Amino acid sequence: MRDPHTLGIVGAGRLGAAVARLALRAGLEVCVAGTRGPAVLADRLAREAPGARAGALSDAAACDAVVLALPLRRLRDLDPATLAGRVVIDATNHVPLWDGPVPGVAAAPSSSEYVQAHLVGARVVKTLNHLGADELEHDAAPAGTPGRRALGVAGDDPEAVRTAMALVERLGFDAVEVGPLAAGAGLEPNSAVFNGLYDREELAALFSRPVPPTPPGPPR
């Protein structure tokens, strides 16, 4: 399993800042790209994720893995060429109430397939999307902790999936491979897994049979 040492994050909001803090705690070097100028972003990171470096999308893309933590409706801001060949961890969700209409996203089971269709050549993996940013920091625990929370990982590129699983483990969660990128639908809003609290065995068991739908929860 390839263990990432540097992490790029696209988006410096609630999720991006939480992932940055967690990654820094885990000893990773972190570079965050946002929409604001470098000085504004650097100032924000100094307050919210001290130790994280502010950069451009190309700086984040140069890291061992890049987490997408921007609203899905803003995906098309990203130049696919910059992320081609990179391990891209899609932590976004399609939340119609928040995103508004995103043309094309409903065409595939998983919104990560929409992400992959835009980011041609990127090695997209879905994970880190199915728990709240606050839980991400609160529930992270060392490997071997009884009942450690598990996160699902879905992707079509086996090496990229291994990198994402190594990242998830390093951040403090058990990583469970749940299938190809399309199986990421089982980690998204309206799935049983979304906002659910599962350990490795429980999460793996859910994916050994069709994941039952649950009523929509509040948007994240």
Ligand X SMILES: NC(=O)c1ccc[n+]([C@@H]2O[C@H](COP(=O)([O-])OP(=O)(O)OC[C@H]3O[C@@H](n4cnc5c(N)ncnc54)[C@H](OP(=O)(O)O)[C@@H]3O)[C@@H](O)[C@H]2O)c1
Distance from the Cα of residue 134 to its chain's centroid = 14
Among 5, 36, 120, 205, binds ligand X (CB under 6 A): 36
Half-sphere exposure of 164 (CA within 13 A, CB side): 31
Nearer to ligand X, 78 or 161 (CB): 78
Q: Which two tokens stand for residue 9?
A: 């994050």
Q: Minimal distance in Å, beta carbon 198 to ligand X? A: 16
Q: Candidates 27-35, 81-89, 100-108, 146-154 — which segment interacts with ligand X by CB under 6 A?
A: 27-35
| Amino acid present at 156 | D
Given the complex with ligand X, which of 65 and 91 has the nearer CB atom?
Answer: 91
How many residues are present in the chain?
A: 220
CB of 72 to ligand X, least distance (A): 5
- Footprint of ligand X on 62-121 (CB under 6 A): 69-72, 74, 77-78, 91-93, 95
Dist CA 59 CA 30 (whole Å): 10
Instruction: Decide whether 1 or 98 has the Cβ nearer to ligand X.
Output: 98
Q: In what order do the strands lie in the sheet with 6-10?
A: 53-55, 29-33, 6-10, 65-68, 87-90, 123-126, 150-155, 174-179
Binding segment for ligand X (CB under 6 A), chosen from 113-121, 128-136, 194-202, 207-215, is: 128-136
Q: What are phi and psi of 65, to 5 degrees?
A: -150, 155
Binding mask 167-196 for ligand X (x = CB under 6 A): ------------------------------
Please report the DSSP string for 55-79 in residue order. Answer: E-HHHHHTSSEEEE-S-GGGGGGS-
- Our finding on whether 28 is near ligand X (CB under 6 A) is no
CA atoms 40, 45, 46, 52: torsion sign: negative
| DSSP code, position 179 | E
Nearer to ligand X, 144 or 218 (CB): 218
Query: Distance between CA atoms of 16 and 25, rounded to whole angstroms?
Result: 14
In angstroms, what is the minimal distance from the CB of 90 to ligand X?
A: 9
Considering only 4, 11, 152, 172, the residue that binds ligand X (CB under 6 A) is: 11
Stretch 139-168: interaction string toward ligand X, x if CB under 6 A: ------------------------------
Positions in the binding site for ligand X (CB under 6 A): 10-16, 33-36, 69-72, 74, 77-78, 91-93, 95, 129, 132-133, 220
